[in-house]
Amino acid sequence: MTTWPVPRDARGPGATVWAPETVTADPYNAQTPSAALAEPVTPVGAFFVRDHFGIPRTPPGRWRLRIGGAAAAAPFALGYEELLAMEHRELDVVVECAGNGRSLMRPRPPGLPWGQQAVGCAHFAGVPFRVLAARALIGPSAVEIVFTGADSGPVHGRRAAFERSLPLAAALHPDTLLVTRMNGEPLAPEHGAPVRLVVPGRYAVADVKWLVGARAVTRPFTGVFQSEEYLYEASRGTPDGPVAGVRVKSLITEPEPDTAVRRDHETLVRGRAWSGGGVPLRSVEVRAEYEDDDRHRERGWQQALLEAPAGPYGWSAWSYRWTPRRPGPYRLVSCATDARGDTQPPQAPWNARGYGCNPVACVEVVVV
């Protein structure tokens, strides 16, 4: 396996040079810079990267995807040109690591210490997996599809490929895509070139990068990334279920933390919100809290103005016009609620591995 150097910078709109903020150098893991989260579509050069092993490099001309497994009557292999020639579907999708926000949890669970920036929204183009599943004649005995990446390495003392399974219905959903393009460009090496899976509405561990295999299995898959990692656990060894759908969440992009805002002047509070699994957002509410001896709410929750997302899996911009009336430290809090009534908890939820951390977003500022 060849490893790419740390990804190159990319130029954003204007003269912004974007580069993700490194969390670990080898394997390369990096989060989206806060400023880039204000962009409606996260630039590729700013987009967070999560790699368990190295970044494998397969020239598109040598790439093959094998589709088969015990439950497929007509297994076959496919090349890149053939995939490119097939009809593509385009979707804006929020990609969020299940461990995003982990460093807010107390006590802090093991795992990469992500802030709230292991997230981005990209415009993807890809071929629905179901089209290829139909060609492989995947039969009724299939319960799951196991997707295999070209990367592998030691996990818990054994060598494992990066493999994840999806229930058959999720794999065959028309929005589950074999992606060839991100934001209009061929996939970058760190984001899974030449082809990755994108499963809208699920935490991004489902989005297998450097995809080389898809096999239909007749029994639930028990690979290490399925049955030992990516589980919600109340304590270590007591699984509550696998990491699956993205939880509703908002973040505040403006004002920036620890900045000064002016008393009796209107300040625009802005951010982004997403609901995860294709469920529309119902509202984003904002609250301003000030501190003197105790913490006070300036007013109750106020409705933010919510813009339409770019499609069912994209995120929405929201804004709220705030005029603070007293000087001193304030905390701005935002809370998103979706059409199911799911909402953000007031405090970071806790589980042993630090997944699904979606508390209300907070930014502290000083009114002068």
Ligand X SMILES: Nc1nc2c(c(=O)[nH]1)N[C@H]1C(S)=C(S)[C@@H](COP(=O)(O)O)O[C@H]1N2
Site residues (vs Mo ion, CB under 5 A): 50, 97, 205
Residue 35 DSSP class: G
What residues line the site for ligand X (CB under 6 A)? 47-52, 95, 97, 149, 151, 162, 191, 204-205, 207-210
CB of 118 to Mo ion, least distance (A): 7
CB of 43 to ligand X, least distance (A): 13
**Residue 51 binding target from ligand X, Mo ion, none, CB below 5 to 8 Å by type:** ligand X
Residue (193 or 204) nearer to Mo ion, CB: 204
Extended beta strands in 97-246, E state: 119-128, 144-155, 158-167, 177-182, 185-186, 196-198, 211-217, 231-233, 239-242
Q: Going by C-beta distance under 8 Å and a sequence separation of 6 or more, which residues neighbour residue 294?
A: none
What secondary structure does DSSP assign to 305-346, as a single string? EEPPPSSTTS-EEEEEEE---S-EEEEEEEEEEETT--B--S
Where helices occur in 199-297 by DSSP H, the ranges are 224-227
CB of 195 to Mo ion, least distance (A): 19
Q: Are strands 64-68 and 76-79 parallel, antiparallel or unpaired?
A: antiparallel
Residue (243 or 304) nearer to ligand X, CB: 243
Distance between CA 289 and CA 306 in Å, rounded?
21
Residue (145 or 205) nearer to Mo ion, CB: 205
Residue (97 or 217) nearer to Mo ion, CB: 97
**Residue 247 binding target from Mo ion, ligand X, none, CB below 5 to 8 Å by type:** none
The residue whose Cβ lies closest to Mo ion is 97
Residue (48 or 129) nearer to ligand X, CB: 48
CB of 51 to ligand X, least distance (A): 5
Residue type, 290: Y
**Residue 330 binding target from ligand X, Mo ion, none, CB below 5 to 8 Å by type:** none
Contact present, 64 and 320 (Cβ < 8 Å)? no
